[in-house]
A and B are shown apart, each in its own frame.
Chain A
Amino acid sequence: MAGPLTVDVVAPDRVLWSGTAERLVAPTVEGEIGLLTGHEPVLSVLRAGTVRVRGGADGDAEFAISSGFVSFDRDVVTVVVEPAVPAEETAPAAS
Chain B
Amino acid sequence: MAGQQRVYRQRIRATSSLKKIFRAMELIAASRIGKARLRVEQATPYARAITRSISAVAAHSSVDHPLTTPRTDTGRAAVLVISADRGMAGAYSANVIREAERLRGRLQADGKEIVQFAAGRRAVSYYSFRRREIAGQWTGASDAPDRETAREMAKALFERFQASKEDGGVDEIYIVGTRFVSMVTQQAMVLRLLPLEIVEGVEETEEGELEPLYDFEPSPELVLDALLPRYIESRIFSSLLHCAASELASRQRAMNTATSNAEDIIRNYTRLANQARQAEITQEISEIVSGADALAAS
Contacts and interface: CB of A to CB of B under 8 A. Distances in A.
Given A13-B42, A80-B53, A41 B217 contact: no
A65 B218 CA distance: 19
B45 A15 contact: yes
Can you list the 6 inter-chain pairs with the closest CB atoms, starting with the nearest? A44-B217, A41-B212, A14-B42, A42-B215, A43-B214, A10-B46
16 contacts: A11-B46, A13-B46, A14-B43, A41-B215, A43-B56, A43-B214, A43-B215, A43-B216, A44-B217, A69-B53, A78-B53, A80-B49, A80-B50, A90-B38, A93-B146, A94-B144
Nearest to A18: B45
Contact of B43 (A12, A33, A42, A43): A12
Given A15-B42, A69-B226, 15 more contacts: A10-B46, A14-B42, A28-B217, A41-B213, A43-B57, A69-B227, A71-B53, A71-B56, A71-B214, A78-B53, A80-B49, A80-B230, A89-B146, A90-B42, A95-B144
B14 interface: no
A12 B147 CA distance: 9
A10 B47 CA distance: 9
A73 interface: yes
Interface string B231-272: 001100100000000000000000000000000000000000
A8 interface: yes
A69 B212 CA distance: 17
A42 B42 contact: no
A88 to B, nearest CB: 10
Interface size classification for chain A: 20 to 34
Given A45-B226, A80-B49, A74 B217 contact: no
A93 B53 contact: no
A40 interface: yes
Contacts of A43: 53, 56-57, 214-217, 223
A30 interface: yes
Classify the interface of chain A: helix, strand, loop or mixed: strand
A2 interface: no
B104 interface: no
Interface string A25-62: 00011100100000011111100000000000000000
B9 interface: no
Interface of A: 8, 10-15, 28-30, 33, 40-45, 67, 69, 71, 73-74, 78, 80, 82, 89-95
B141 interface: yes
Contacts of B23: none
B39 interface: yes
A40 B215 contact: yes
Residue from B226, B227, B234 whose CB has the most chain A CB atoms within 10 Å: B226
Residue from A12, A40, A78, A95 whose CB has the most chain B CB atoms within 10 Å: A12
Given A12-B147, A12-B234, A78 B49 contact: yes
B45 A8 contact: yes
B200 to A, nearest CB: 15
Interface string B194-234: 00000000000000000011111110001100110010011
A6 B164 CA distance: 44
Nearest to A11: B46
B142 to A, nearest CB: 11
